[in-house]
Amino acid sequence: MSLLEALAADRGGEIESAAAQYEKALAAGDVSLQVLLNLALLYWQATDVGLAAAKKLSPHFLATAGRRFPELIEEARRRFPESTEVRFWKRYIAWADLGENLDNDECRRLLQEDPAALAPAMHLFAASQGHEAKAEAHELLRRCRDDGTTGARYVASVIEGVIKRAGYRR
């Protein structure tokens, strides 16, 4: 039940409740890629100043979030070493938070390695101002709108922003 409750809370924007339910699911042994990534991205987004302020997240929760998201990404990488999505998010978060290098060629390779895992298309689409990986990004946007979790909402907002900016450049 924890996972269903976690997904419902996550889709409802109840950050702290969703995190607690995902943690319960993990503790109960549901260490799936979906749970690890959903929770990692939820914690990561919880540390965004805008989201943390809007949701009035407590300093205690933010401290937990800041400590947990790298742990969860590492756990996902250890358990699912073949996952290109995990590799992508590890690099992308370092780029987003710290300005570390994120090579577009690496994103292309990840997308080529597993064409079904579309997360790298978000960055290629954004970095090229909407010119590269257009079909993949639109498919990813469709999936993320359907998914509705915190991580998916982040991806959708990035892609939608790129589409909007491409519109006013024309």
Q: Rule CB under 8 A: which residues touch another protein? A: 13, 47-59, 62-63, 65-67, 70, 96-99, 122-123, 126-127, 153-154, 157-158, 160-165, 167-169
H-helix or E-strand spanning residue 20: helix 15-27
How distant, in Å, are the alpha carbons of 7, 10, 53, 75, 122 from that of 132? 31, 30, 34, 31, 10
Closer CB to another protein, 3 or 51, in the complex: 51
Q: Catalogue the E-assigned strands of 43-92.
A: none
In the complex, what is the shortest distance from the CB of residue 131 to another protein, in angstroms, rounded to a whole number?
13
Spatial contact of 10 and 42, defined as CB atoms under 8 Å apart: yes
Closer CB to another protein, 115 or 161, in the complex: 161
In the complex, what is the shortest distance from the CB of residue 13 to another protein, in angstroms, rounded to a whole number?
7
Q: How far apart are CA 22 and CA 133, in angstroms?
A: 32
Closer CB to another protein, 2 or 104, in the complex: 104
In the complex, what is the shortest distance from the CB of residue 115 to another protein, in angstroms, rounded to a whole number?
22
In the complex, what is the shortest distance from the CB of residue 1 to another protein, in angstroms, rounded to a whole number?
27
Phi and psi angles of residue 81, each rounded to the nearest 5 degrees, phi first: -65, -20
Q: Which two tokens stand for residue 62?
A: 């933010």
Closer CB to another protein, 81 or 167, in the complex: 167
